[in-house]
């Protein structure tokens, strides 16, 4: 009985954001020592990211004694964690193992404590507000895009908010995906027929990057789903919350989580699945929402959430995916993003693309090193390129092949490292169906 009680108390301390111990510095220090000691005895993750490299090298300098680590050593390890999540599926001690080891969540806890203490930069405060920045920037897209390309402006940005002057940033679309979809919906309804009872139904969680930046990915997703007779709803939604978590702002992330769950759970209860073209958003909905909200609705939404290519493969296995392809995709070098790999769902994008006749897909499963807001910062930009160097080397040999990645941030990083921006697999699939790149034409 005592062992069960200790297990439950440890679970609350490590995972429950509402627990009083969660933000307690002494309790955090004890948990850091416990987990770092386990990691030091295992070292399966020694080559995954800079956090582990620095941690293990520092422990070796201290003669293997984790208890000798200083607070600044822990802070350095926390700062270097870019939340790729790859250590979690690799770790043999994650829950329900009695060690209860969740390294990414320990790092999040460290960031949250720093934020509570007021040790947070202006850049971290701003970068979490993706919807606010996106809304303003889209309305002023021509001006904002010009400014983002100005060396003077970028130098001032680096000085003011710490975004590296050489970090390539996504351009903003004046017409957001939501605005486009509303027009598309009106035109679609003019020729819409009656829906069948067994017609697949999805809610499209379109993601911030699709809404404000790369709207064509959202358009391609709508086109492919409609080509497969899938009924689509696009309700109001907010950022998934991951940018807030990058800065340790759990409270703001939770507000977005609750807002999205209220909408999405109502649709799921009506027979809809949730589909998203963004690996990070998929991961958030599946893995983080149940942990953050700890509610029945969160678990329900998580159970019915799919990456868009995962959902299309589900249709294929049910005999409902159209094979009316009009052209080949040729040779595709496909980058598997970290947040898809961390979901343990296999290579769904590859499997769908290989359904296209005369198409060959080569999978590259190396981290790009962008990882959320981490590589935007002047302190980590160069290091992020070092992390992505093995991937860049492999992709630089692509020749006339198409490069593809589901992750918009990995696409930016690959563009920086290779000089070619990858396309989302859904765009390649749209082209294979022979659907127009401008749906309104």
- Secondary structure (3-state) at 435: coil
Can you tell me the mean pLDDT for 78-93?
90
Q: If you search the block for the tokens 């897209």, which residue do you land on? A: 141
Can you tell me the mean pLDDT for 385-394?
91
**pLDDT score at 185:** 83
CA quadruple 226, 230, 235, 239: dihedral sign: negative
CA angle 304, 430, 320 (to 5 degrees): 50
Shortest CA distance to 348 belongs to which of 358, 337, 395, 422?
337
The number of helices, as runs of H, and strands, as runs of E, in the chain is 24, 7
Residue 117 near residue 109 (C-beta atoms within 8 A): no
Q: CA dihedral defined by 143, 149, 155, 158, rounded to 10 degrees?
A: 80
Q: Measured between alpha carbons, how far is 200 from 171 in angstroms, rounded to an integer? A: 34
Q: Measured between alpha carbons, how far is 198 from 178 in angstroms, rounded to an integer? A: 27
What contacts 164, CB < 8 A, 6 or more positions away? 158, 376, 377, 378, 381
Shortest CA distance to 292 belongs to which of 305, 277, 302, 280?
302
Hey, what are 246's tokens?
């990058």
Element (H, E) at 184: helix 177-190
Hey, what are 161's tokens?
């908010």
Residue 67 near residue 33 (C-beta atoms within 8 A): yes
Q: Which conformational region is residue 161 in: left (phi greater than 0), alpha (psi within -120 to 50 degrees), or beta?
A: alpha
- Secondary structure (3-state) at 370: coil
- Secondary structure (3-state) at 330: strand
Q: Measured between alpha carbons, how far is 285 from 175 in angstroms, rounded to an integer? A: 26
**pLDDT score at 190:** 52
Q: Are strands 305-307 and 330-335 parallel, antiparallel or unpaired?
A: unpaired
> Residue 175, Cα to own-chain centre: how many angstroms?
23
**pLDDT score at 5:** 40
- Secondary structure (3-state) at 97: coil
**pLDDT score at 15:** 63
Domains, the chain, with CATH or none: 2-116 (no CATH), 330-432 (3.40.50)
Q: If you search the block for the tokens 């220090």, which residue do you land on? A: 29
For residue 377, which phi and psi values (nearest 5 degrees)? Answer: -80, 140
Residue 77 near residue 48 (C-beta atoms within 8 A): no
pLDDT confidence band for 343 (50 / 70 / 90): very high
| 98-131 pLDDT tens trace | 899 999 999 999 999 999 888 878 888 888 899 9
In terms of pLDDT, which residue wins out, 304 or 8?
A: 304
Q: What is the DSSP letter of 374?
A: G
46 has a pLDDT exceeding 70 = yes
Q: Which residues pair with 360 in a beta bridge?
A: 331
Shortest CA distance to 404 belongs to which of 361, 344, 373?
361
Integer angstrom CA distances of residue 346 from 24, 288, 341, 375, 384: 38, 19, 7, 26, 25
In terms of pLDDT, which residue wins out, 110 or 192?
A: 110
Hey, what are 419's tokens?
């000089």
Hey, what are 405's tokens?
């990645």
Total-model pTM = 0.91
**What proportion of the chain, given as a percentage, has pLDDT over 70?**
94
Q: Measured between alpha carbons, how far is 205 from 214 in angstroms, rounded to an integer? A: 14
Q: Measured between alpha carbons, how far is 204 from 384 in angstroms, rounded to an integer? A: 31
Residue 307 near residue 280 (C-beta atoms within 8 A): no
Q: Measured between alpha carbons, how far is 354 from 360 in angstroms, rounded to an integer? A: 6
Q: Measured between alpha carbons, how far is 415 from 213 in angstroms, rounded to an integer? A: 15
Sheet containing 273-276, strands listed edge to edge, beginning at the edge strand earlier in sequence: 231-233, 201-204, 273-276, 305-307
Rounded to the nearest integer, the mean pLDDT of the chain is 90
| 1-45 pLDDT tens trace | 344 445 444 555 556 777 778 899 999 999 999 999 999 999 999
């Amino acid at each position: 009985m005592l062992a069960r009680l200790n297990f439950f108390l440890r679970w609350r301390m490590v995972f429950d954001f509402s627990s009083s111990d969660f933000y307690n510095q002494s309790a955090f220090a004890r948990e850091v020592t416990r987990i770092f000691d386990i990691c030091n005895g295992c070292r399966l993750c020694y080559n995954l990211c800079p956090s582990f490299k620095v941690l293990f090298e520092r422990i070796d300098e201290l003669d293997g004694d984790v208890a000798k680590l200083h607070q600044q050593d822990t802070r350095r390890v926390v700062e270097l964690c870019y939340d790729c999540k790859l250590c979690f599926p690799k770790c043999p001690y994650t829950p329900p193992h009695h060690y209860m080891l969740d390294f990414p969540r320990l790092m999040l806890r460290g960031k949250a404590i720093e934020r509570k203490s007021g040790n947070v930069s202006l850049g971290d405060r701003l970068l979490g507000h993706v919807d606010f920045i996106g809304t303003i920037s889209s309305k002023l897209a021509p001006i904002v895009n010009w400014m983002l390309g100005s060396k003077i402006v970028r130098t001032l940005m680096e000085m003011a908010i710490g975004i590296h002057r050489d970090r390539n940033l996504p351009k903003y679309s004046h017409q957001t995906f939501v605005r486009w979809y509303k027009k598309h919906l009106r035109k679609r309804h003019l020729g819409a027929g009656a829906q069948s009872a067994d017609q697949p139904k999805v809610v499209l969680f379109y993601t911030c990057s699709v809404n404000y930046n790369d709207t064509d990915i959202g358009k391609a997703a709508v086109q492919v789903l409609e080509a497969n007779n899938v009924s689509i709803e696009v309700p109001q939604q907010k950022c998934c919350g991951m940018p807030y978590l990058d800065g340790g702002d759990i409270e703001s992330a939770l507000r977005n989580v609750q807002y999205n769950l209220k909408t999405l759970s109502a649709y799921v209860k009506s027979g809809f699945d949730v589909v998203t073209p963004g690996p990070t958003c998929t991961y958030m909905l599946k893995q983080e929402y149940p942990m953050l909200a700890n509610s029945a609705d969160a678990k329900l939404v998580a159970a019915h959430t799919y990456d868009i290519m995962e959902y299309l493969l589900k249709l294929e296995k049910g005999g409902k995916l159209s094979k009316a392809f009009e052209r080949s995709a040729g040779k595709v070098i496909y980058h598997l993003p970290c947040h898809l790999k961390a979901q343990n769902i296999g290579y769904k994008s590859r499997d769908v693309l290989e359904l296209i006749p005369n198409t060959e897909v080569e999978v590259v499963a190396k981290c790009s090193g962008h990882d959320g807001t981490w590589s935007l910062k002047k302190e980590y930009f160069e290091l992020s390129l070092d992390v992505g160097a093995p991937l860049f080397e492999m992709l630089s040999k692509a020749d006339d092949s198409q490069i593809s990645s589901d992750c918009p941030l990995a696409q930016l990083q690959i563009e920086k490292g290779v000089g070619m921006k990858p396309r989302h697999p859904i765009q390649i699939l749209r082209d294979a169906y022979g659907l127009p790149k401008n749906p309104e034409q």
